[in-house]
């Protein structure tokens, strides 16, 4: 019989290995993203990079609206279905939803490209269609990653994440070489890279012992209803997230043009890269544990256990965020010149603002796990609405008066509003239990 000490030591060792895998995956993913920024900002003009950023934003909108809710369902219900013995039904329902939605999006995107080509030219029509395909491939990729994280298969999740930016970059570079620097070629390369990652992820998922032993049982109507009740609020969240996360680029496009969008997009990517490592480690390692602690049998003691872990996590992320903001404030010109070129350096003064904005928003996203763990996702509709409205209104007003800096400050203010409102909602939810 194994002693309690050995059991706890084994669990501790397992957690350390998981953290190492997650951190390694995020580090190489961030390295790939930084390499992509450096190479693409030097191959494409700021205007071309701006067009690419707009195409990626269209793909992101599709991903958020259609596949974002599915990814949340995948992550939240894995442990619940495991405890209930419904994992076979869980797999069957999610496969059907992804297939049906993918065909629906392709049909809608194909029809949408016709009027866009007529009104704005074939270049934009093709860009929209490529964005649709990229949105689907990256959406499926996100759901498969959620499966790997929910099952705590850290090694496979880390490997697939590390491969993602590098495969996209390699494919984009190859197609750029063939088609002589067209920004649309980069998006086509991103699609091929994303599809390659999906194939790798499917291999990892199908190799999972948990899934191999599960038979595809008939779909259970109660489980389908649970998925719907939990997932539908995320459609509303996605509509708001589309505004809060992508309106900035389109506001700049309408007011200042492609070149400004390219500069801003590069700055935002640089600001996001280090924060993304920290937040991804948290969401992939901590959030599934929080969900598992609360489980299907929600009780005050189980909620308190999850909250204790979440508070420690937020403190750690906040400390890292302060350090990153300080580095961006002190060495912004050197950082931007190293990762792009001198053409972008003249706007490096907004880097620390964007780092802080991204950090505050992501701390709010981590705290949202409080409501998600007790199946109260709809409680965050107002904070997300307020944040989206702040980005839209402040961005439109401040860009007119302060240009690209105005957009950066609008993003920072909206992120602070969001974080404060999430804290207020969480306090109410915990008191109500």
Rounded to whole angstroms, the Cα distance separating 351 from 337 reads 12
Other CB atoms within a 10 A radius of the CB of residue 359 amount to 26
Mean pLDDT for all residues in the chain: 81
Rounded to whole angstroms, the Cα distance separating 371 from 5 reads 34
The reported pLDDT for the residue numbered 292 is 61
Are 241 and 215 members of one domain? no
The model's pLDDT over 144-180, given as tens digits with 9 standing for 90+, comes to 888 887 777 777 887 888 888 889 888 888 887 777 6
Are 203 and 288 members of one domain? no
> Cβ neighbours of residue 378 under 8 Å, at least 6 residues apart?
233, 236
Q: Domain of residue 295: give its range.
A: 236-433
Phi, psi angles (nearest 5°) of residue 391: -60, -45
The reported pLDDT for the residue numbered 361 is 93
Are 379 and 330 members of one domain? yes
Give the pLDDT of the chain (433 residues) as one tens digit per residue: 454 444 455 555 766 776 777 777 777 887 888 888 888 888 888 888 888 888 888 888 888 888 888 888 887 787 777 777 777 788 888 888 888 888 988 888 888 888 888 877 777 788 888 888 888 998 898 888 888 877 777 778 878 888 888 898 888 888 877 776 556 678 888 899 989 999 988 888 877 655 545 555 555 667 888 787 777 777 877 888 888 888 888 899 887 888 888 899 999 999 988 888 777 777 666 666 666 655 555 555 556 556 677 788 888 889 999 999 999 999 999 999 898 888 888 888 999 999 999 999 999 988 887 777 666 767 888 898 899 999 999 999 999 989 999 999 999 999 999 999 999 998 887 776 6
5 belongs to a structural domain: no
Q: Which of 309, 313, 315, 290 is nearest to 373 (CA)?
A: 290
Q: For the chain, what is the domain count?
A: 2
Are 185 and 247 members of one domain? no
226 belongs to a structural domain: no
Are 149 and 266 members of one domain? no
Are 286 and 139 members of one domain? no
The reported pLDDT for the residue numbered 268 is 92
Are 274 and 207 members of one domain? no
1 belongs to a structural domain: no
Are 64 and 103 members of one domain? yes
Are 212 and 67 members of one domain? yes
12 belongs to a structural domain: no
92 belongs to a structural domain: yes
Are 206 and 244 members of one domain? no
Contact between 40 and 189 under an 8 Å Cβ cutoff? The reply is no
Which run of H or of E encompasses 57? Answer: helix 46-62
Are 210 and 276 members of one domain? no
The reported pLDDT for the residue numbered 6 is 42
Question: 127-153 as b/e, with b when 16 or more CB fall inside 10 Å?
Answer: bbbbbbbbbbbbbbbbbbbbbbbbbbb
Are 323 and 174 members of one domain? no
14 belongs to a structural domain: no
224 belongs to a structural domain: no
395 belongs to a structural domain: yes
Q: Which of 311, 266, 106 is nearest to 258 (CA)?
A: 266
DSSP conformation class of 403: T
Domain C-terminal end among 160, 190, 219: 219
The reported pLDDT for the residue numbered 396 is 93
Contact between 352 and 332 under an 8 Å Cβ cutoff? The reply is yes
């Amino acid at each position: 019989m194994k002693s309690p000490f050995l059991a706890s030591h084994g669990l501790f060792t397992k957690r350390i290995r998981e953290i190492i895998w997650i951190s390694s995956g995020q580090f190489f993913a961030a390295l790939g993203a930084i390499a992509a920024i450096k190479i693409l900002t030097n191959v494409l003009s700021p205007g071309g990079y701006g067009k690419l950023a707009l195409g990626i934003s269209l793909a992101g909108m599709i991903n958020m609206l259609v596949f974002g809710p599915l990814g949340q369902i995948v992550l939240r219900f894995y442990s619940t279905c495991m405890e209930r013995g419904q994992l076979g039904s869980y797999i069957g329902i999610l496969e059907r939803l992804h297939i049906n939605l993918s065909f629906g999006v392709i049909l809608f995107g194909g029809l949408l490209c016709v009027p866009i080509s007529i009104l704005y030219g074939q270049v934009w029509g093709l860009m929209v269609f490529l964005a649709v395909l990229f949105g689907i491939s990256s959406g499926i990729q996100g759901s498969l990653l959620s499966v790997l994280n929910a099952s705590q298969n850290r090694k496979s999740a880390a490997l697939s994440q590390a491969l993602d930016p590098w495969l996209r970059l390699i494919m984009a570079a190859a197609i750029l070489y063939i088609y002589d620097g067209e920004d649309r070629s980069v998006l086509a390369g991103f699609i091929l890279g994303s599809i390659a990652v999906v194939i790798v992820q499917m291999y990892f998922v199908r190799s999972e012992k948990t899934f191999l032993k599960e038979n595809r049982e008939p779909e259970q109507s109660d489980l389908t209803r649970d998925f719907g009740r939990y997932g539908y609020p995320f459609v509303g969240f996605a509509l708001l997230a589309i505004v809060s996360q992508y309106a900035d680029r389109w506001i700049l496009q309408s007011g200042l043009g492609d070149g400004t969008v390219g500069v801003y997009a590069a700055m935002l990517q640089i600001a996001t890269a280090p924060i993304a490592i920290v937040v991804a480690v948290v969401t992939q390692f901590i959030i599934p544990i929080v969900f598992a602690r609360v489980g299907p049998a929600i009780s005050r003691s189980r909620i308190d256990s999850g909250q204790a872990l979440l508070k420690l996590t937020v403190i750690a992320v906040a400390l890292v965020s302060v350090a990153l903001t300080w580095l961006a404030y002190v060495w912004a010109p050197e950082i931007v010149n190293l990762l792009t070129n001198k053409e972008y350096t003249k706007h490096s003064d907004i880097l620390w603002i964007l780092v802080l904005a991204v950090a505050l928003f992501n701390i709010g996203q981590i705290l949202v796990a409080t409501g998600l763990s007790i199946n109260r996702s709809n409680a965050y509709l107002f904070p997300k609405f307020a944040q989206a409205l702040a980005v839209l209104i402040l961005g439109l007003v401040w860009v007119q008066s302060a240009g690209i800096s105005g957009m950066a400050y609008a993003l920072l203010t909206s992120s602070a509003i969001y974080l404060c409102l999430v804290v207020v909602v969480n306090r109410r939810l915990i008191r109500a239990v």
